């Protein structure tokens, strides 16, 4: 039923504008979406396999492949140490990196569509600042000694920020505008940045180290329960947002076009904004602040595959997972046996790309 709705065979055309939009829609078919998504999934699995072999303790490709076969056949070809490294250390971290990268990329796709701005990302509404402030408060009051203490407070901070920006920008009066959302996010982020600096100035050395790693993005502490929660949230939100792919296409074309096609723009924008902010808040609360993923990945996929969200959303999710898994692998090995926060790698990749986007948009 969803496929018939998102990929209709017949469309009623009454105006020239609707005829132009219909031509755009017909470029993307269900078979193309499935084939392209399968290719991106294969790329992600290949990166995951390579990442399993790389680390401060290298494990050969053959032995890694044999360990995966042992899971299916019940064999015991590898030593207990190698099995521990692959299945208890590297594999959970790689899966978690993929989930976080997919979540941030999904948020970037939707925020760029809602705000009609290719430079927007999941942090444009101040979600990162609110999450960071919540996590820092949790670290300072000793919430890390409790299960999910710091991530829970980070999630509460991100969620509070979403509703704060929503109210400040006029969402409580039934009207959301691009400029008001952006300005509200900037103002809220500035306030949270000042609060973060205050708490950093009063933290002791041990707390400061934990706070610094969290602010730069850290994927090394993910538990199986946290990975499961993040995966379920990503799956649910992706299904909900993918059902709105045609509405996002119309919103990108302009509010007037969306209204003419029967879309309640304000109501759709508010609902999509809240749902997208939730998945972003989940990702940030568990992984810390990992910048530029939400900017780079959607824009790169838009250049390659076009702007139809029926195709753009799944390929951005899968490529975002691949990108962050690869970036985390580099962060693990570039200064081995020490590790860099993955946010450092994404910033090194994202800053030049952000400059490229500014130059391209200026031209």
The DSSP string of 109-128 is: HHHHHHHT-TT--TTTTSHH
Q: Which of 236, 271, 251 is nearest to 102 (CA)?
A: 236
Number of domains in the chain: 1
For the cut 60, the answer to whether the pLDDT of residue 161 exceeds it is yes
255 vs 112, more confident:
112
Judged by DSSP in three states, 203 sits in coil
pLDDT digits (tens, 9 = 90+) for 24-69: 555 788 899 999 999 999 999 999 999 999 988 888 888 888 888 8
DSSP H or E stretch at residue 255: helix 255-260
How many Cα atoms are found within 13 Å in the side-chain-facing hemisphere of 138? Answer: 27
Question: Residue 139 contacts by C-beta under 8 Å, 6 or more apart in sequence?
Answer: 150, 203, 207, 210, 211, 214
Residue with the bigger pLDDT between 68 and 181: it is 68
Instruction: Please check the confidence at residue 14 and state whether its pLDDT lies above 70.
Output: no
pTM: 0.86
Site of tokens 């105006």: 15
CA atoms of 137 and 157, how far apart (whole Å): 10
| Listed residue (12, 86, 71, 40) closest to 317, CA to CA | 40
At residue 277, the pLDDT reads: 82
Nearest alpha-carbon partner for 283 in 92, 52, 98, 87? 98
Asked if residues 105 and 322 have their Cβ atoms less than 8 Å apart, the reply is: no
User: At 238, is the pLDDT very low, low, confident or very high (cuts 50, 70, 90)?
Assistant: very high
Confidence of residue 13 (pLDDT cuts 50, 70, 90): very low
Question: Do the domain assignments include residue 75?
Answer: no
Give backbone dihedrals phi and psi of 26, rounded to 5 degrees, phi first.
Answer: -70, -10
In a domain, 227, yes or no: yes
Write down the pLDDT at residue 241.
94
Residue 101 lies in a domain: yes
* Residue 61 belongs to a domain: no
> pLDDT at position 24, please?
52
User: What percentage of the chain exceeds 70 in pLDDT?
Assistant: 85
Does the residue 69 lie in any domain? Answer: no
Q: In CATH, what number is assigned to the domain containing residue 263? A: 1.10.3470.10
- pLDDT for 11 equals 45
80 within some domain = no
Residue 300 lies in a domain: yes
Which helix (H) or strand (E) covers residue 325, if one does? Answer: helix 309-333
> Which structural domain, as residue segments, surrounds residue 266?
2-51+91-362
Specify if 77 maps to a domain. Answer: no
């Amino acid at each position: 039923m969803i496929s018939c709705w998102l990929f209709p065979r017949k469309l009623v055309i009454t105006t020239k504008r609707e005829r132009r939009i219909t031509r755009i829609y017909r470029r993307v078919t269900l078979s193309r979406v499935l084939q392209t998504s399968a290719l991106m999934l294969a790329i992600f699995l290949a990166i995951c396999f390579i990442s399993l072999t790389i680390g401060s303790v290298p494990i050969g490709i053959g032995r890694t492949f044999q360990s995966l076969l042992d899971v299916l056949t019940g064999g015991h070809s590898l030593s207990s140490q190698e099995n521990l490294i692959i299945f208890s250390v590297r594999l959970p971290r790689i899966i978690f990196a993929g989930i976080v990268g997919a979540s941030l990329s999904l948020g970037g796709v939707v925020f760029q569509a809602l705000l009609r701005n290719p430079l927007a990302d999941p942090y444009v509404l101040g979600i990162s600042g609110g999450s960071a402030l919540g996590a820092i408060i949790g670290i300072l009051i000793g919430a890390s000694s409790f299960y999910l203490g710091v991530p829970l407070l980070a999630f509460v901070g991100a969620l509070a920020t979403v509703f704060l920006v929503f109210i400040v920008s006029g969402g409580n009066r039934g009207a959301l505008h691009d400029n008001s959302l952006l300005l509200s996010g900037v103002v809220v982020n500035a306030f949270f940045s000042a609060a973060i600096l205050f708490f950093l100035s009063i933290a002791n050395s041990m707390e400061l180290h934990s706070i610094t790693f969290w602010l730069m993005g850290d994927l090394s502490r993910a538990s199986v329960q946290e990975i499961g929660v993040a995966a379920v949230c990503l799956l649910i939100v992706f299904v909900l947002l993918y059902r709105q792919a045609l509405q996002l296409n119309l919103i990108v074309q302009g509010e007037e076009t969306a209204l003419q096609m029967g879309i309640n723009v304000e109501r759709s924008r508010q609902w999509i904004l809240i749902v997208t902010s939730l998945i972003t808040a989940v990702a940030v609360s568990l992984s810390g602040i990992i910048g530029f993923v939400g900017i780079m990945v959607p824009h790169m996929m838009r250049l390659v595959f076009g702007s139809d969200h029926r195709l753009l959303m799944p390929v951005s999710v899968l490529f975002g997972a691949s990108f962050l898994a690869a970036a985390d692998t580099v962060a693990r090995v570039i200064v081995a046996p020490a590790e860099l926060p993955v946010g450092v790698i994404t910033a090194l990749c994202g800053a030049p790309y952000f400059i490229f986007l500014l130059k391209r948009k200026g031209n």
